[in-house]
Amino acid sequence: MSAGKVYLVGAGPGDPKLITLRGLEALKRADCVVYDRLAGPQLLNRARPDAEFIYVGKLPDRHTMKQEEINRLLVDLALQGKTVIRLKGGDPTVFGRVGEEAELLRKNGVPYEIIPGITSAIAVPAYAGIPVTHRELASSFSVITGHESPDKLDLSIHWDKVTNATGTLVFLMGVAKIGYIAEQLQRYGRPPETPVALVRWGTRAEQRTLTGTLADIEERVKAAGFEPPAVIIVGDVVRQRETLAWIERKPLFGKRVLVTRARSQASELADKIDELGGEPYEFPVIETRLPTEEAAVQAVRDAIRAAETYDWVILTSENGVAFFFRWLDLCDSDIRKFHRARFAAIGPKTAEALALRGVRADVVAEQFRAEGLLESLAGEVKPGQTALLPRGDLARETLPAELGRQGVKTVEIDVYETVLAHGRDPFLLEMLENGEIHAVTFTSSSTVVNLLDALRRLGAEDPAALLRSAEIACIGPITARTAEENGLLVTVTAETATIDGLVKALCDSTTKRGNERR
């Protein structure tokens, strides 16, 4: 068997969008991903569904895997013919011990590639509004380890040379040694009033920044209980934070939001959360697919063959539109066959989905649920007419039941079915237990039910209790009712049942809580 290949990939500082395109491409084709906690858990969702995950970081029941063991593991996996990704936080060449891993791979004849990442040394200060260089303040910067004990620091760092070698000094992993670092810098010529900033968990929802001077930073760190991991920035560039801090000013900064929508739909909500400074954490709990039962499939085919008999085609969701047109293609049919019918849609997004396919809705409900559509259809539908309802298998019966009472013959077809997604996430339960998920979004009743089921499958005995520390945000009253019936305390309900409405409600809630704390 020929050897596989190992990609030594820098994952960036934590924000999953800060991985490079080359790193992401390698991740997507990996047979096996070897990773640690610093790599950012959401990146694992970008790997192939059948990829093997091997965690080499610290777990409660064992110590961190030794570096020599990791080196050997990479060789062994590659010699099995696998494509292996060694996913490392930041850049693998900046205190990432990539040289040791690459050396053993070379000795064993294993092909490898080093893919740089964005180092926390520049990304974390940038997210705190601190450029490491500035035309008027610093024309150079140094990156220095702060992780060693003071005696080892003195052996590895020539304080007399480093202290004034560059305008900006960046120390990685040095929070516990901040007092000693400040003392040495002052001893070798940095003024006591030199600005200092510590940025903890930069680029993530937990990002916090503490500023001071060399003279008082140790005292400030102790008073604030400021803990690692953090990047330390020393120099006049720290003053730029007063005017350049940007992400903290966004309305959802500091909030990690669980997105439970189907993977095919999650990006819209996740992108809006990200744009507003929040950290979307995608955990899709539903999948939509074509029906699998023969009776349901035959019902759809029969309904499409009768296209010319309908007075109305009523669509209640974007999914309904997408799968309806997919079925037209599968049945070798054409939208023109429905020339007798008028089209109705619940909400602007459903209407937009129709318009993208060349069909303008004749009626668009102002309220984004069945009751709103019925209100909009009042005076439009007539007794004796026939309406086709292409929907999902979990759709409510309100619409066909009321149309039937009005004398409208309704033909319901399940153009798609909703099932529980089988996602993998080795960190979600721990993050919920630690209060690291600050809000959970639900965009339908099925996302509520399926998230609780998914958490049970991951090992949670009481999923509802696990969610009590997080805000529960629902897209509308029907979804909120389902959440409450399942033991959840709903704290945010969108006034308008759209993704934009849900995001606005989250922002309003965050602002309100911030004002209450003040």
* Helical residues (DSSP H) of 434-517, grouped into ranges: 445-458, 463-466, 477-485, 499-517
Provide the angle, in degrees to the nearest 10, between the axes of the packed helices 98-107 and 67-79: 40
* Helical residues (DSSP H) of 248-405, grouped into ranges: 263-275, 294-305, 318-330, 347-355, 370-377, 398-405
Q: How many CB atoms lie within 10 A of CB 478?
A: 18
Residues of the chain by 3-state class (helix, strand, coil), percent to 5: 40, 20, 35
Choose, from 17, 58, 161, 382, the residue flagged as catalytic: 58
Of 473, 466, 458, nearest to 507 by C-alpha is 473
- Two tokens, residue 372: 């709103």
Q: How many CB atoms lie within 10 A of CB 308?
A: 10
Instruction: Confirm whether 173 is a catalytic residue.
Output: yes
Tokens 């066909």 sit at which residue?
400
Q: How distant, in Å, are the alpha carbons of 204, 238, 250, 270 from that of 243?
A: 21, 10, 15, 28
32-35, strands of its sheet edge to edge: 52-55, 32-35, 83-88, 5-10, 112-115
Cis peptide before 195 (omega within 30 of 0): no
How far is it, in rounded angstroms, from Cα 475 to Cα 445? 10
Choose, from 5, 15, 31, 173, the residue flagged as catalytic: 173
Q: What is the CA radius of gyration of the chain?
A: 28
DSSP string, 247-258: GGGSTTTT-EEE
Of 360, 367, 348, 363, nearest to 314 by C-alpha is 363
Choose, from 36, 216, 500, 508, the residue flagged as catalytic: 36
How far is it, in rounded angstroms, from Cα 438 to Cα 433? 11
Tokens 């803990």 sit at which residue?
227
- Two tokens, residue 441: 């979004």
Give residue 241's identity as a one-letter amino acid code.
Answer: R
Q: What is the DSSP letter of 133?
A: -
Which stretch of DSSP H or E encloses residue 9?
A: strand 5-10
Q: Which residues are tagged catalytic?
A: 36, 58, 173
